Amino acid sequence: MTESTAAPRPAPVRPVPVPDERSAGYWEAARRGELALARCAGCGTFAHPPSTVCPHCHTADPDFTFVVVPGGGTVRSWTVIRDSFLPGFADDVPFVLVDVELDTQADLRLIGRLLDGPDAALHQGDRVAIAFEHPTADVAVPAFRLEAVTP
Amino acid sequence: MSGFSARSRVAVVGYAQSPIVRHADRPLGAIALDVARSAVADAGLRVDQVDGFTTGALLPTSGNHAVVDGVSVVTSNWLAENLGATPRYVAGFQGFGQIPGAVMMAVNAVASGAAEYVVVHRALHNPPSGRYHGNPMTTAPGAMQWSAPQGFFGPLAMIALPFNEYLQRYGATREDMAAVVTEARANGARIPWSYWHGRPIEPRDYVDARVIADPVCILDCDIPVDGVAAFVLTSAERARDLPNRPVYVSGYGMGNPTPGRLGGHWTLDDIQGAGRVVADRLRDTSGLALSEIDVPQLYDGFSPFVWWWMEAIGLCGEGEAAAFCRDGGIEVAAGGLPVLSGGGALGNGRMHGVPQMLETYLQLSRRAGERQLPSATVGLACHSSANYGGAVLYTADPL
């Protein structure tokens, strides 16, 4: 191996989302610091991620629109990622991913990094608020922070 | 009333399996040809009599490995063509639960008369370079955009969330899983073809193992291997004229479809809900109470599946599996339930649902040798998790 003599390579970048016609509203809102989720025009129910069909009323023409939601929710589960299988996370491990049920709708779930660090004490039912991380200057990825516990 | 008219009308009549190794020194397709020919011979048949082929060919990795038929996967088309067979029925099962999926298709083909003798095979490959699940993607288009940007990726994170959800909900601990993994490895250590032959582990090995995605440690995951297995199915009538004792397919069930979520987002509620669906379908198709199962071979590609299958088919109550296992309930050498008597995937290597199907077949046909259980009349071979898989119910006698 001759890598030691090669020019230092830039640190690998985390996978960058590629917005498309079904997701552009989500990523645009994230850049504004808002969580916007797809709502079916037919039944008014949120679907995440949005598919070609509404998973609730099963219309093939859901005409999803992205609606800003508060982004608070409760922790259903979590894991500490100690070894990532993706590029760009080597400096971030260990990090916590939380499986959050959003207040907006029953069983509406979102998985994001918990920005409180790997040592945060977690319990099912803990309250979290939406937050955003910026792996590159023009990308914002929804994440979570623990809400302050009021005694 | 299910109207499942294929009950006990189709039987497994022979099998073959390659050694299970980290990296084979021959292409997967070459091994598959040998194994298929051996299985056909074991059934007392000739290749020119085989007129049906089914499999689920998926290479179960999230890495960016090239998929080449005959090298990294083996489809039924590839196998039939290269065996020189002239089948009337060739089909592949899509998605997960490949073993029950392919068996269901074979059963339906035989029961309908679409084919008389069907080879069901499964070929698993461990790519020679790179991490099995490692993926160098720098962009996340399509479905990946909803999960990869925040680092949620691959089967370990996938299983970690419902595993932890279970621990938290029922007050179980990671250490409770040691009883499952040591049991799989104890049984696999006694199986000559296992990658882990002669290599059991102690509970301490499990507790000390490297954690990758809490609570999932490296020993919760089966090890990627190269290996092929094949089974021959035919009608109950034709089976009577063949050399081996037939094992009858008497029911089957899959848990799909499951709710659309982020790719790889499995919730405990989804898994438990699908478990109830699979159990209902098994009861409907077989007409049996699941308490009659005496060879319950539970899938264990990730160790928590064992707990969830135990609860799904009623071996213990919901939330009780961790304590049941910890207290010796599945320790077969001590008279516990033989849920991993065939070593499973944790005790053999990543053969998907093959170890479960093979052990069920060997026990019910009374070909299990020194592992032969005294009572082996109703077997269940599970594969994957109920929400992305299912199970096939076998009986030693036709129902």
Residue ranges covered by each domain of chain B:
10-128+222-395
* Nearest by CB: A79 against B133, B147, B157: B157
Same-domain status, A49 and A118: no
Residue A13 lies in a domain: no
Confidence of residue A40 (pLDDT cuts 50, 70, 90): very high
Residue A115 is part of which domain span?
70-151
DSSP state, residue B73 = B
Residue A101 lies in a domain: yes
Confidence of residue A8 (pLDDT cuts 50, 70, 90): low
Residue A5 lies in a domain: no
Residue B199 pLDDT: 98
3-state secondary structure of B172: coil
Same-domain status, A62 and A86: no
Domain count, chain A: 2
Residue A7 pLDDT: 60
Residue A150 pLDDT: 57
Same-domain status, A49 and A109: no
Residue A7 lies in a domain: no
Check CB contact under 8 Å for A18 and B213.
Answer: no
Same-domain status, A89 and A128: yes
Same-domain status, A61 and A76: no
Q: The domain B10-128+222-395 is classified under which CATH number: 1.20.120.1770, 3.40.47.10, 3.40.605.10, 3.90.1300.10? A: 3.40.47.10
Preferred mutation among B65, B261, B262, B267 to probe A, highest tally of A CBs within 10 A: B261
Check CB contact under 8 Å for B212 and A20.
Answer: no
Query: Contacts of residue A124 in chain B, CB cutoff 8 Å?
Result: 165, 168-169
Helix axes B98-112, B354-364, angle to 10 degrees: 50
- Dihedral sign, CA of B281, B285, B287, B292? negative
Same-domain status, A147 and A106: yes
Measured between alpha carbons, how far is A96 from A102 in angstroms, rounded to an integer? Answer: 18
Model pLDDT for residues B196-225, shown as the tens digit of each residue? 999 999 999 999 999 999 999 999 999 999
Interface check A78 vs B, CB under 8 A: yes
Check CB contact under 8 Å for B164 and A77.
Answer: yes
Same-domain status, A132 and A99: yes
Residue A98 lies in a domain: yes
Q: Which of A37, A69, A101 is the last residue of a domain?
A: A69
Check CB contact under 8 Å for A79 and B138.
Answer: no
Contacts of A11 (CB under 8 A, 6+ apart): A88, A90, A91
DSSP state, residue B69 = B
Spans of chain B below 70 pLDDT = 1-2
Return the C-alpha torsion angle B155, B157, B158, B162, nearest 10: 140
Same-domain status, A124 and A114: yes
What's the distance, Cα to Cα, between the start and end of chain A in Å?
A: 58
Residues 215-234 of B with CB under 8 A from A: 215-216
Would you say B380 and B296 are in contact if contact means Cβ atoms under 8 Å apart?
Answer: yes
Q: In what helix (H) or strand (E) does residue B76 lie, and over which residues does it extend?
A: helix B76-83
Residue A61 lies in a domain: yes
Measured between alpha carbons, how far is B267 from B261 in angstroms, rounded to an integer? Answer: 9
Same-domain status, A92 and A125: yes
* Nearest by CB: A77 against B141, B156, B162: B162
Q: How many helices (H) and strands (E) does chain B have?
A: 12, 12
Token readout for B282 is 């098994």
Q: Which of A69, A94, A127 is the last residue of a domain?
A: A69
CA distance to partner chain A, nearest, from residue B53 (Å) = 34
User: Within 13 Å of residue B384, how many CA atoms lie on the same side as its CB?
Assistant: 24
**A149 pLDDT more than 80:** no
Same-domain status, A59 and A86: no
Residues 158-197 of B with CB under 8 A from A: 160-162, 164-165, 168-169
Residue A116 pLDDT: 97
Interface check B64 vs A, CB under 8 A: no
Preferred mutation among A21, A48, A53, A77 to probe B, highest tally of B CBs within 10 A: A77
The neighbouring-strand residues paired with A75 are A100
Same-domain status, A143 and A79: yes
Query: Contacts of residue B209 in chain A, CB cutoff 8 Å?
Result: none
Model pLDDT for residues B338-373, shown as the tens digit of each residue? 999 999 999 999 999 999 999 999 999 999 999 999
The interface predicted TM-score (ipTM) is 0.94
Full 3-state SS string of B304-359: HHHHHHHHHCCCCCCCCHHHHHHCCCCCHHHCCCCCCCCCHHHHHCCCCCHHHHHH
pTM of this structure:
0.96
Same-domain status, A28 and A84: no
Check CB contact under 8 Å for A97 and B148.
Answer: no
Model pLDDT for residues A85-136, shown as the tens digit of each residue? 999 999 999 999 999 999 999 999 999 999 999 999 999 999 999 999 999 9
Q: Which of A69, A88, A103 is the last residue of a domain?
A: A69
